């Protein structure tokens, strides 16, 4: 499956919207079943959901703006990609 720049922009837009609305349920489908997640390392969705819930208790209003085009990078794994982007908070 070819991922286009438009696909990446849509994905990041959904990610930003989830954060701006403080909506954990909106964010969770954007994560894989196992994710290399910040300081936690490789974790499942339950850890991510717990972390996001705690985050939104402390940060109720967040606004993001994309300031550089997203970049999709291959990894050593066949079904794994990384997306890099810069945003203003």
Report strand pairing: 41-44 vs 65-66.
unpaired
pTM of the model: 0.79
Domains and CATH numbers, the chain: 5-88 (3.10.450)
What tens digit of pLDDT does each residue of 17-71 get?
999 999 999 999 999 999 999 999 999 999 999 999 999 998 877 888 889 889 9
> Which residue, chain included where needed, has tokens 């954990």?
24
Alpha carbons 54 and 84: distance in angstroms, whole number: 24
Distance (Å, whole) CA 31 – CA 78? 17
């Amino acid at each position: 499956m070819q991922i286009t720049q438009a696909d990446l922009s849509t994905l990041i837009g959904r990610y930003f919207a989830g954060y701006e609305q403080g909506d954990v349920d909106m964010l969770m489908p954007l994560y894989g079943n196992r994710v290399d997640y910040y300081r936690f390392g490789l974790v499942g969705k339950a850890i991510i959901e717990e972390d996001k819930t705690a985050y939104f208790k402390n940060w109720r209003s967040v606004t993001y703006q994309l300031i550089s085009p997203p970049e999709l990078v291959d990894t050593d794994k066949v079904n794994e990609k990384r997306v890099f982007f810069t945003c203003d908070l």
